[in-house]
Amino acid sequence: MSYDFPVNHYRFANRISNLRAYVQGTNLYTLTKYRGSDPEVSINGNSIHSGKDQNVPPSAQILTVGVNLSF
């Protein structure tokens, strides 16, 4: 999700031609009744233990926030 600020309404508009703020999230929340650490089990191709958790750490939750400026 991003937002473009109307820079012509601000005093510093003569120096900045574009101002955009953005936020992006990955794996923020999982909707499931699974009680283990991660419902997307990683077995490394081993079908003998298919469907077992193997104590693999859960997928990382990533939140990216940034600002783009053009002068």
Amino acid (one-letter) located at 68: N
**Token pair of 24, please?**
């992006």
How far, in Å, CA of 58 to CA of 37, rounded? 6
Indicate the average pLDDT of the chain: 77
What are the pLDDT tens digits along the chain (71 aa)? Answer: 999 988 877 666 677 888 899 999 998 887 777 776 666 665 555 545 555 666 667 778 999 999 999 88
Q: Which residue has the tokens 């991003």?
A: 2
H or E element that contains 34: none
Give the pLDDT confidence score for residue 68 in this predicted structure: 94
Give the pLDDT confidence score for residue 22 in this predicted structure: 97
Give the pLDDT confidence score for residue 44 in this predicted structure: 56
How far, in Å, CA of 42 to CA of 39, rounded? 9
How far, in Å, CA of 18 to CA of 7, rounded? 7
